[in-house]
Amino acid sequence: MILRDGTMLGGTDFFYFVGTYTCSKGKWKGEFTNDEHTPASITRPMAQKGTVSVGFSGTYCDNAAQIDLTALVGKRSLQYSATFELLVAR
């Protein structure tokens, strides 16, 4: 995931993400869409679902960010938690 100037871009082997965020005083929130670019196994909750909307909030510091997400997948609401760590290219 790349975060820059309020824009989020990222992806995995099967999905890509595009969204926006705001941040202030150690807290951040935003939303993004998740879309499938390569067919994923049906065992993945977002496989073959089209565009999935995801909202999130969390906290951040100088080198990491914590995030709690809610994805609306059809009539289901899925919750995820993750931690992002800052990687610096050298």
pLDDT value at residue 81 = 96
Per-run averaged pLDDT (10 residues), the chain, 90 residues: 92 93 96 90 79 94 93 90 83
Residue type, 13: D
Q: What is the value of pTM for the model shown?
A: 0.81
Nearest to 4 by CA among 23, 15, 14: 23
Name the token pair of 50: 């089209």
Torsion, CA 38, CA 44, CA 47, CA 49, rounded to 10: -160
Residue type, 15: F
Query: β-pairing, 52-60 with 64-73?
Result: antiparallel
